[in-house]
Structure 1
Amino acid sequence: MSQSVLEFETFPGRTLTLALFKNCKNSKDVRAAIRDPTMTEFAYINAALIVDPFLVHLAGYRALAAESSGRLNSKSLHTELIYDISGTRHVAESLKRFGITDECKSLLVARFDCKPEELAALKSRIQGEEVPLSELASLADLNLIDKYYKLTKAELQVRSRADAAAFRIGAKDFL
């Protein structure tokens, strides 16, 4: 199994399961299926925009905190995860940039409190190679990451790209 399960100390019993796929051939079909109300909800993230799994963990924490306080900025916990992983305060722009597109070749799929049968059903729908989460950085598009998080060369001289993006995620409510 290549998926990873993240836990949240502040939210006991809550987990976030991640599965990474590359060379996806049916992103358009997966994207169309997102709108199907009979499908189990997952967060489908463009893996090219995520340089480190820690960013997903941080966004997951923010999403759970928003849910527990009744302050979701989006319609569901899984869309909140995508919103929280972005550096912008605009929900639609976050989903457009960090969600999957018809042309996505690498997908990072996440589900809170995922059951094994839900994950198995997901894997049967994605036509791509499931790879370990350790390959995430190798799939990253650094130019797009810099653009969407508004990272500067000067900033990247003193901190890592993952640290700079984490700062944007953590401070988004104050920027």
Structure 2
Amino acid sequence: MTSSLESIQLPHLPASLPIHVALYRDVQNAPFLRQQLISGNADFEYAFIDASSVLSRTHALSAVFRAVNDYLNERLKSRNVHSEIVFSFSPTNNIADSFRKFGISDSTKDLLVVKVSTAPEITHESVAAHLAQSVEGTPAPFNDETLSRIADITKIKKAYKLGSLNVAPAGQTNGANDSGKKLLENSLLGAIAIRGAT
């Protein structure tokens, strides 16, 4: 299986901390992956995010930045930087709730995987090889086009309590929807930033 793992250097974070991101569609083994997380298997220390709750690349990377920044400043509220990434998507301070809304579930079909290089042995090659062995799904590019096909706008608006915001469902592309989506994205980024400030 070819890897679509992307290694990203986020601005304002040390060059020694690249972020590795992969997106998978039609995942067949979500219950297995979730079980590895629950059992604390160190080989599976990833942020496993249900991609249907991710609006855009910017939305995802904002949550990653917030978590890594908290990791660097020793402000983690959860077990490690990877669980903190899932928590950082949440507009509230309820960790269990954030895992329910944004983390992998047994029924997850579209999966966003994030790994932070917190140790020298965590490289693009090692992460790509491990994910190729571990995730039974179809690699997809981590871009707005793919995410817009996956994103469940209703679910996202509910998670962020933005029910009144007018955004058309995925697949309906027109000028009005683009501006609605931008407004939604800005609201999500604001929620991530504000929760971090409290």
Asked if structure 1 preserves the Cα contact closer than 8 Å seen for 2:165 and 2:184, the reply is no
| SS of residue paired to 1:172 | helix
Q: Partner residue of 2:6?
A: 4
Q: Partner residue of 2:176?
A: none
Quick one: distance in 1 between partners of 2:182 and 2:34?
34
Identity of aligned residues (%): 25
Unaligned runs of 5+ in 1: none
Larger mean CA deviation between 130-139 and 34-43 belongs to 34-43
Q: Partner residue of 1:139?
A: 150
TM-score (norm 1): 0.91
Q: For residue 98 of structure 1, report the CA deviation from its aligned partner.
A: 0.6
| SS of residue paired to 1:67 | helix
- String of CA shifts for 1:83-129, please: whole Å, max 9, x gaps: 01122211111112111000111100000124112221122111111
Q: For residue 37 of structure 1, report the CA deviation from its aligned partner.
A: 2.6
Quick one: distance in 2 between partners of 1:46 and 1:151?
19
Asked if structure 2 preserves the Cα contact closer than 8 Å seen for 1:55 and 1:166, the reply is yes
Q: Partner residue of 1:27?
A: 30
Unaligned runs of 5+ in 2: 168-179
Q: Partner residue of 1:166?
A: 189
TM-score (norm 2): 0.81
Aligned AA (1:131): A
Q: Partner residue of 1:118?
A: 127
2:85 equivalent to 1:81: yes
| SS of residue paired to 1:21 | strand
- Shift in alpha-carbon separation, 1:106–1:90, aligned structure 2, 3 A: same
Q: Partner residue of 2:177?
A: none
- String of CA shifts for 1:141-170, please: whole Å, max 9, x gaps: 111000001114347659532222111111
Asked if structure 1 preserves the Cα contact closer than 8 Å seen for 2:5 and 2:128, the reply is no
Runs of 4+ aligned structure 1 residues displaced above 6 Å come to none
Asked if structure 1 preserves the Cα contact closer than 8 Å seen for 2:49 and 2:102, the reply is yes
Q: Partner residue of 2:112?
A: 108
Quick one: distance in 2 between partners of 1:138 and 1:112?
26
Root-mean-square deviation (CA, aligned residues, Å) is: 1.9
Quick one: distance in 1 between partners of 2:62 and 2:166?
20
Asked if structure 2 preserves the Cα contact closer than 8 Å seen for 1:31 and 1:102, the reply is yes
2:97 equivalent to 1:93: yes
2:153 equivalent to 1:150: no
Match of 2:139 among 127, 130, 147: 130
Larger radius of gyration: 2
| Aligned residue pair count | 175
